[in-house]
Amino acid sequence: MTASPRRSAVVVDDEPLICSIIAGILETENWFVTQALDALSAITAVTSTNAELIIADIDLGIGPTGIDVVQRARADNPQIGVVFITNLADPRITGKGWSTIPNDAAYIVKTAISSTGALREAVTAALDGKDTTVRPTPTVTTTQSLSNTQIGVLKLVSEGLSNDEIATARNTTVRAVERLVNRMMTAARVPSGPTARVQLARLYWDQLNGR
C-alpha cells in the first residue's frame, strides 16, 4: 500500500518552544513542517515549500504581525489553510481587528496548544474552509470595553505621546483627544491623577502580552 504524500505546513511564532510543540504535533499527523520565528522567514517558507497550511501567532513582536503574513500568503494562494494562535483575547490591541482575520481561518488561544485534539480540530476547520471561524472562548478583558478609536489612542498613549502629539498624529484637536482619553479612562476604570497615563500604558502592554 502506497503511503499518503506528506502535506506541507509552516508554523510561525516568535517563541521557539511554541513552534516546536506545534511542529511536533503536526509531524505525528504526517505533515512536513517548516518552523519560522519571524514574518519574513514565514513568507519565504510558505512560498518555497508550497505550503497548504499556515499556523501563525498574531503578535510576532516588532514588525509585521501574523495577520500580515497570512494576508501575503493568501495573495499568492487564496486556498491556503489558516490557523491563528495568540495569547490575546482582544486582537484589536495589535492594531488589527477581527475584520482582518479571514472568516475561514481557525483561531485558538495558546493555552490550548498543548492539546493535540484542540490543534487537530483547528487544523481540520481551517482546511475545510468553512465560514465558521473558531474564536477564542469569550473572556472579559479591560480593552473589550473600549471602541476601536479608543484602542488606537491607547496605543499612542503607550508609546509616550502627549495629547498634542496624538492630536497631530490623528489630525484632530487637542480637545477631542482629551475627551477621548477621559472616556477611555472611565471605560477602562483607570482613576484620574498624575499616574493615569502610566496606568493606561501599562494596560496596553499587559494586554499585548496576554496578561
Task: Give start-end residues of each CATH 1.10.10.10 domain in the chain.
Answer: 142-208
Nearest to 88 by CA among 59, 125, 118: 59
27-30: long-range pairs with CB below 8 Å, 24+:
28/116, 29/120, 29/123, 30/4, 30/6
What average pLDDT does the segment 47-63 reach? 88
What average pLDDT does the segment 148-152 reach? 75
Query: CATH code for 142-208?
Result: 1.10.10.10
Q: Is the pTM of this model over 0.85?
A: no
What average pLDDT does the segment 95-123 reach? 71
Contact of 12 with 60, CB cutoff 8 Å: yes
106 contacts: CB under 8 Å, gap ≥ 6: 82, 83, 84, 121, 122, 123, 125, 126, 133, 134
Specify the CATH number for 7-128; select among 3.40.50.2300, 3.30.70.20, 3.90.1170.40, 3.40.720.10: 3.40.50.2300
Distance separating alpha carbons of residues 15 and 12, to the nearest angstrom = 9
pLDDT single digits (tens) 7-26 = 899 999 988 988 898 999 89
Task: Give start-end residues of each CATH 3.40.50.2300 domain in the chain.
Answer: 7-128
Contact of 92 with 63, CB cutoff 8 Å: no
